[in-house]
């Protein structure tokens, strides 16, 4: 399961190259945040379907969800060339943003796929 989908285009540089005081371009930052959300939602849906098909239950499934989120984080960081600070406000944003919202979608699609495949 190594298919990342960095959907929806480019991130834009949101901080200036000023050495003295970092400034942020708000519109680009919003664009970047939106991209994070899209990526996480998409990955949690795909992850939910996969978890259901593979028949993970209970704890294994949740651990799988966090593994998927970690893969997404690494993917996003790689896309920024590991220079996270020039694209985002802080590390926290790229790591924690959208995890809880994605959890609900994950559970929905997990339940759906699990039922389709196993409880037929």
User: Which tokens belong to 116?
Assistant: 């389709």
Q: Which of residues 71-90 bind other proteins (CB under 8 A)?
A: none
Query: Hey, which residues does 24 pair with through a beta bridge?
Result: 15
User: Which tokens belong to 90?
Assistant: 């802080």
Helix (H, G, I), strand (E, B) or coil at 50: helix
When asked if residue 56 is in the footprint of other proteins (CB under 8 A), the reply is yes
When asked if residue 95 is in the footprint of other proteins (CB under 8 A), the reply is no
User: Which tokens belong to 115?
Assistant: 């039922």
Q: 30 vs 90, which CB is nearer to other proteins?
A: 30
When asked if residue 107 is in the footprint of other proteins (CB under 8 A), the reply is yes
**Binder among 57, 66, 67, 74 for other proteins (CB under 8 A):** 57
């Amino acid at each position: 399961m190594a298919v990342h989908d960095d959907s929806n285009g480019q991130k834009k540089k949101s901080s200036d190259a000023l050495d003295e005081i970092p400034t942020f371009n708000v519109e680009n930052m919003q664009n970047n945040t939106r991209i994070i959300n899209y990526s996480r939602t998409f990955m949690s849906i795909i992850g939910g379907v996969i978890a259901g098909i593979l028949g993970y239950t209970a704890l294994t499934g949740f651990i799988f969800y966090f593994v998927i989120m970690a893969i997404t984080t690494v993917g996003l960081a790689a896309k920024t060339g590991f220079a996270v600070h020039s694209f985002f406000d802080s590390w926290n944003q790229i790591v924690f943003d959208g995890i809880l919202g994605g959890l609900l979608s994950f559970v929905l699609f997990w339940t759906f796929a699990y039922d389709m495949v196993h409880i037929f």
